């Protein structure tokens, strides 16, 4: 059978992703279905789920993907328009041998991609490259499969409701015209309190704002709605519903690591001494807080698939990233479901006084930069980090090398790592004083300069 080559940029560390009709094409979806389906079949599997987000290109991508999957002899269960977490849920609920979500996640409207599960686990890294090699060789299984639709929506909402234990808040919800909108609307009808949903209509052009809750500019509409309704808080989501953001009653952003600190305060009462994982970009205040609460703080690599794997290894009940991916294994499946995380966040606020703004005020104040991302060639980015690490080791620096370099000084810390998904370097600094932050920034600039890299202007 003739082989198929994907554009060299689309087979990424955690997913398959590209620009529609430029680097990612509809025929790619069929070839991916054939190659992925071949791996499922050869592992002894027979059934997979498929879901798709609200992007304009997603239904046709789904059609081609499912045709490719069925051509390998698999039974394909189409759950239809969904958030990524509902696809993950369906794999567990229907006990299938894998699943693929067609989504461009938080990327602009002209992007699309595929997030995959192999069995009940994430499919990433070398497994994605192996699927690419199978497509390249045209070494596909061939059989007469089938495609059928199954509606899991109500079962998904019922599952979310099972763990609700919150007071009656007034909340503004913003699914940002992403595919989570219908689930948000269905869920809030069953929650105590008053709920206002904005941007609930699924619209793949994202007419109101970019669907990425980690960028504060995307939260302006939510802040205005919280102020208008005198709400206790606002919750925001990305385009496919696996990342969450929050603002308090005063319109202040509650960042991913701060949300995790609040969640840890509740979880560690139920599971004393448990390991809680956060990525290397998280504040030192979070790791200190987990320890103070009697938990075991674990710093790990950035990337939702890598975090999920680490959770399994350590049997950790909770994990999270600065980017708003929050993972609950406690009472749940261990994957990043932003709606479920939202429920557990509301439960945690309820159990700790019921006032998000007060809980935010109670967290240690730190002065930090946002996550800084700057262009660097895809190969060179890893070399830069290696060079910086070697010089720091020679100088006897106090650092973690779990993902790039995170250097600890008396002022605080600075981080430099290579992105696994883009041709960029990622940096962040955090200190207890403005003067300390200036010194950390200077150290980072000098480390970059020694490798011939111009630091971004915001450093």
C-alpha torsion sign, points 47, 53, 59, 65: negative
Per 3-state DSSP, what percentage of the chain is helix, strand, and coil (rounded to 5)? Answer: 35, 25, 40
105 is known as an active-site residue: yes
* Collapsed DSSP state (helix, strand, coil) of residue 182: helix
Alpha carbons within 13 angstroms on the beta-carbon side of residue 151 total 3
CA pair distance 186, 204, nearest whole angstrom: 20
CA pair distance 400, 153, nearest whole angstrom: 43
* Collapsed DSSP state (helix, strand, coil) of residue 37: helix
Q: Is the separation of the CB atoms in 251 and 224 below 8 Å?
A: no
Neighbours of 436 (CB within 10 A): 17
Nearest to 276 by CA among 325, 322, 328, 324: 328
Please state the φ and ψ torsions of residue 340, each to the nearest 5 degrees.
Answer: -65, -40
Write the CA distances from 252 to 26, 194, 249, 326, integer angstroms.
42, 20, 7, 20
Write the CA distances from 85 to 101, 260, 296, integer angstroms.
9, 19, 27
Complete DSSP assignment for 327-391 = EE-TTS-SSB-HHHHHHHHHHHHHHTTS-HHHHHHTSPP-EE---EEEE--TTHHHHHHHHHHHH
Which one is catalytic: 58, 71, 90, 105?
105
Which residue(s) pair with 328 in the sheet?
318
CA pair distance 89, 149, nearest whole angstrom: 16
Q: Which residues are catalytic?
A: 105
């Amino acid at each position: 059978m003739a082989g198929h080559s994907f554009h060299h940029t689309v087979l990424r560390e955690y997913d398959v992703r590209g620009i529609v009709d430029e680097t990612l094409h509809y025929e790619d979806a069929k070839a991916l279905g054939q190659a992925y389906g071949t791996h499922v079949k050869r592992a002894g599997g027979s059934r997979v789920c498929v879901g798709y987000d609200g992007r304009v290109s997603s239904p046709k991508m789904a059609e081609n993907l499912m045709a490719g999957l069925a051509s390998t002899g698999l039974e394909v269960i189409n759950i239809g328009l969904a958030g990524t977490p509902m696809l993950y849920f369906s794999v567990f609920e229907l006990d299938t041998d894998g699943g693929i979500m067609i989504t461009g996640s938080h990327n602009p409207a002209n992007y699309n991609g595929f997030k995959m599960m192999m069995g009940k686990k994430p499919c990433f890294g070398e497994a994605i490259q192996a699927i690419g090699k199978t497509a390249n060789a045209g070494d596909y299984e061939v059989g007469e499969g089938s495609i059928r639709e199954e509606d899991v929506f109500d079962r998904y909402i019922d599952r979310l409701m099972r763990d609700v234990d919150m007071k009656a808040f007034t909340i503004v919800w913003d699914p940002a015209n992403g595919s989570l909108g219908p689930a948000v609307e269905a869920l809030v009808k069953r929650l105590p309190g008053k709920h206002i949903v904005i941007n609930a209509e699924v619209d793949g052009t994202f007419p109101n704002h970019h669907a990425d809750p980690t960028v504060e500019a995307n939260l302006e509409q939510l802040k205005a709605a919280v102020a208008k309704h005198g709400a206790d808080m606002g919750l925001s989501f990305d385009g496919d519903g696996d990342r969450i953001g929050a603002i308090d009653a005063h319109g202040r952003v509650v960042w991913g690591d701060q949300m995790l600190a609040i969640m840890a305060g509740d979880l560690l009462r139920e599971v004393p001494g448990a390991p809680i994982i956060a990525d290397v970009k998280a504040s030192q205040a979070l790791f200190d807080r987990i320890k103070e609460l009697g938990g075991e703080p674990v710093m790990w690599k950035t990337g939702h698939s890598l975090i999920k794997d680490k959770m399994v290894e350590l049997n950790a009940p909770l994990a999270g990233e600065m980017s708003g991916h929050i993972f609950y294994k406690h009472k749940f499946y261990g994957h990043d479901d932003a709606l479920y995380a939202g429920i557990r966040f509301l439960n945690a606020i309820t159990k700790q006084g019921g006032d998000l703004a007060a809980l935010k005020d109670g967290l240690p104040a730190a002065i930090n930069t946002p996550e800084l991302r700057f262009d660097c060639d895809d190969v060179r980015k890893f070399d830069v980090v290696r060079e910086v690490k070697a010089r720091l080791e020679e100088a006897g620096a106090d650092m973690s090398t779990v993902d790039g370099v995170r250097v600890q000084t008396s002022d605080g810390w600075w981080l430099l790592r290579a992105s696994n998904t883009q041709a960029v370097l990622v940096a962040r600094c955090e200190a207890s004083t403005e003067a300390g932050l200036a010194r950390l920034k200077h150290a980072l600039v000098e480390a970059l300069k020694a490798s011939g890299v111009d630091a971004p202007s915001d450093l």
